[in-house]
Structure 1
Amino acid sequence: MSEEKNILAELYDTVLERKTEKEEGSYTCYLFEQGLDKILKKVGEECSETIIAAKNGDNHETIMEISDLLYHLTVMMVEEGIHISDVEAELKKRSEKTGNLKKFHQVDHNT
């Protein structure tokens, strides 16, 4: 029995392929050509749009914006050499923690 690949892993592989094999007219290739600053700008825009859609209570629009955000985050990951398995491993590690709310993710707000 073969294990079905999850859709995020498929997306990652497609984005990775676009980075190495340029395809004319590809938005993904365009983002890579523009570089990290453009990719990060798009991540920020999609994050804001996701927040607005959720605040407006429009689930369909929120789903669309989450999908856009996940796509742009995937482009960022590929650009930065972060493999999806690294993120999956971190999520798995976090899922094994219980009753550890304060230690889950600490941010130094003074920096």
Structure 2
Amino acid sequence: MTDFRLEDLERIVAERAQADPTQSWTARLVAGGMAKASKKLGEEAVETVIAAVTGDRPALVLESADLLFHLLVVLRVADIPLADVLAELEARTAQSGLAEKAARRSD
């Protein structure tokens, strides 16, 4: 088991976002703005789904890592800290998923 956490990745993304875009993929995505970062996130989401539905476990692990990385890049571009997302997830655990979805539909 590893001690690596999403917060560690968030820190790495923040550091790399400050690099020269000609030298860093992360910096290039951030420099491209929300459209570029979101497009890449979408591509990774599709690749993750394909790996899942085809039952390709090794690919699912790799694509899930890509998906999490690119999600953190999008959050960085949007200036949304991971802590905000985790707080939302924590708040949702106070009720069942079905009750939470029903509450969102009535909003």
TM-score (structure 1 length as normaliser) = 0.81
Q: Name the aligned partner's letter for residue 36 of structure 2.
A: K
Percent identical among aligned pairs is 36
Q: Distance in 2 between matches of 1:76 and 1:50?
A: 17
Aligned to 2:46: 48
**For this pair of structures, how many residues does the alignment match?**
101
Equivalent residue for 2:99, pick from 78, 89, 103: 103
* Residues 46-85 of structure 1 aligned to structure 2 (within 5 Å): 46-85=44-83
Q: Provide structure 2 residue ranges, at least 5 long, that are not aligned to the other structure.
A: none
In structure 1, list runs of 5 or more residues that go unmatched.
Answer: none
Give the drift of 1:6.
4.8
Q: CA deviation at 1:96?
A: 2.4
Match of 1:22 in 2: 19
Cα root mean square deviation, aligned: 1.8
